[in-house]
Structure 1
Amino acid sequence: MRQKSQVGLFVGLITLDFIYLAKSVPRNNQKIVAIDYTVAAGGPATNAAVAFSYWHQAKLIGVIGSHPLCNSIVADLETYQVTVEDLNPTQVEPPPVSSIIVTEATGERAVVSINAVKTQVTRDRIPQDILQGVDIVLIDGHQMVIGCAIAQQAKANHIPVVIDGGSWKPGFETVLPFVDYAVCSANFHPPGCKNTTEVFAYLSAIGIPHIAITQGENPIQYQANGQCNTIAVPKIKAVDTLGAGDIFHGAFCHYILQTSFAEALAAAARVAAAACESFGTRRWMQQQI
């Protein structure tokens, strides 16, 4: 449901996700039959890009390669009109693959995955015009060298930079000085930080003006220009929590281009909650958000 021609650039991990809905995760040596399944492109930046594409134009930059499995990734992204800049199109190794089991009764997910450690690329792979026409940038930290270079360019061109702080990754400290919006999970622990108070202090000391920490079904804690507050999130019966944080980030990138930090967080929380009410990372887009 595109409203305007704004463009978001999403930098990071691209995977192929095999997602199963089951009564429970299997025990050792047990075989189970899934109730439902779906296959989709995945990764924090990828799911955020797809979510953003619900309203605007999304560009995704990362590594896909030429392995036959990559055809499924490309086809899924084409369905949602996400433009992809493949940083290593001749790579013949399989893409990172994730296997996810979602428990029917709770919506909780169990994930086995490979991250982007084996698919890192250098900054010379970045196209010179990558930021042309871009209104906002999101970096998930899985291509840190690329992410740092793009964040630096975006800052110089007054393009807002968002980080998906799902967890701390070595090298994030090189990106943070260029960040306008740090939207993190409760699992994001910079060096020496053991609680949210220390995380806020760490990020504030770097000079990030807008910081938020999501806590699942618990209220979002946020700080804007030194002022702290909380935002309640919708109460739902979760069907599938997979990708909720990624979808939250994609929705946030949409709303922050339209409204205030607090209002963007609240609106993104509503979208992420709606996404949790259906199986997989795509079916929520069939609803009216």
Structure 2
Amino acid sequence: MTHHGLFVGLVTLDLIYLAQSPPKNNQKIVATDYIVAAGGPATNAAIAFSHLDSTDKTQNFSTLLGIVGSHPLTQLIRGDLQKYRVAINDLDSTTKNPPPVSSIIVTQASGERAVVSINAVKTQADREAIPPEILQNIDIVLIDGHQMAVGIEIAQMAKAKNIPIVIDGGSWKHGFDKLLPLVDYAICSANFYPPNCHTQEDMLAYLTQVGISHIAITHGEKPIQYLTLGTNGIVNVPKTQAIDTLGAGDIFHGAFCHYILRENFISALASAAKIAAFSCQFFGTRRWMES
């Protein structure tokens, strides 16, 4: 069986360093390891989705819809995505602007990370840039909200074709109020606070009111809170010795897209949590796939 996922959103170049700690003011430090990789929520999710077909007798294909461009740095992004069998559909292939670059320092002892980045605020695409046949043969869509105008248009198109839509709700962004009523699965972090929402209960009530039937709120290594078709509960996250938590949420979303095409909502959350927890045992966002 073949499944094809479309992942809409941010494409970055990540420079990831492993060090004893982030530098203090006017301090220089020497990293013990480093990785250069494509990054961004939708990007990491697409790679995880594509990789997970090796765990069963299915085949996954990922298409990433975002802005890459033609700056020399983008060759690093394209090479990384090609290695992991992720097709790029570039929303602005002619731009010579450098891609957003993230500098990330992972603390060796704890796995915590410090991040300096520029998101897609300066590189927003118009919905006219969407290829007309982008949803052909697509089984699931994930939208991370970083290309909001494109994401809303894609969601409307997917809704008309009964293609399930997942959102990665890392933090509230302008335009989510228009996107959320189109969504089937809202997978949000504990920091995703819609307007006038101050608690987890407020968040669940808001998402339910806009018509989302399946909602999950992640809390890092703590249990996932869910609400599905009026039933709420928790899914425990496997305990692990974290080496690096960078990208674990993105990997969780990509794994969820893989499992929700095969399992029910609660089971898909539990399966995705196992993959994300496993990924935290390795430095960077790729090495978990090599094990």
Same fold judged by TM-score > 0.5?
A: yes
TM-score normalised over the length of structure 1: 0.98
CA RMSD in angstroms comes to 0.5
Structure 1 segment 204-219 matched on structure 2, within 5 A: 204-219=208-223
Q: 1:168 aligns with which of 168, 172, 179?
A: 172
1:261-280 alignment to 2 at 5 Å?
261-280=265-284
1:186-205 to structure 2, matched below 5 A, reads 186-205=190-209
1:72 alignment partner in structure 2: 76
Q: Which residue of 2 aligns with 1:136?
A: 140
2:129 to 110, 125, 128: 125
Mapped pair 1:227 → 2:231: yes
Is residue 5 from structure 1 mapped to residue 9 from structure 2 by the alignment? no
Q: Distance in 2 between matches of 1:155 and 1:178?
A: 7
Q: Secondary structure in 1 aligned to 2:224? A: strand
Gaps of 5+ in 1: none
Q: Does 1:42 align with 2:39?
A: yes
- Listed as ranges, the matches of 1:232-271 within 5 Å are 232-271=236-275
1:32 corresponding residue in structure 2? 29
Q: SS where residue 152 of structure 2 aligns?
A: helix
Deviations 1:45-78 (A, max 9, x none): 0000000011210000000000000000000000
Counterparts of 1:154-165 in structure 2, within 5 Å, are: 154-165=158-169
Give the aligned residue type for 1:273.
A
Q: In structure 1, what is the equivalent of residue 99 of structure 2?
A: 95
Q: Which amino acid aligns with 1:21?
A: L
- The one-letter amino acid paired with 2:20 is K
Give the distance between the partners of 2:191 and 2:247, measured in 1 at CA.
Answer: 15
In structure 1, distance between residues paired with 2:31 and 2:140:
39
Instruction: Give a deviation string over 1:170-202, Cα, whole Å, max 9, x none.
Output: 101111111000000001000011111000000
Deviation at 1:286, TM superposition (A): 1.4
Deviation per residue, 1:70-95 (Å, 9 max, x gap) = 00000000000100000000101100
1:5 shift after superposition: 1.7
Cα offsets for 1:16-55 (capped at 9, x unmatched): 0000000011110000000100000000000000000112
Can you give the 5+ residue segments of structure 2 that lack an aligned partner in the other structure? Answer: 54-59
Partner amino acid, structure 2, of 1:9 = L
Q: Which digits, 9 at most, give the CA deviation of each residue in 1:200-248, with x for residues without a partner?
A: 0000000100000000011000000011100110111100000000000
Identity of aligned residues (%): 64
Name segments (4+ residues, structure 1) moved above 3 Å: none
Quote the residue 1:21 is aligned against.
18
Letter of the aligned partner of 1:182 in structure 2?
A
2-side partners of 1:115 and 1:167: how far apart? 12
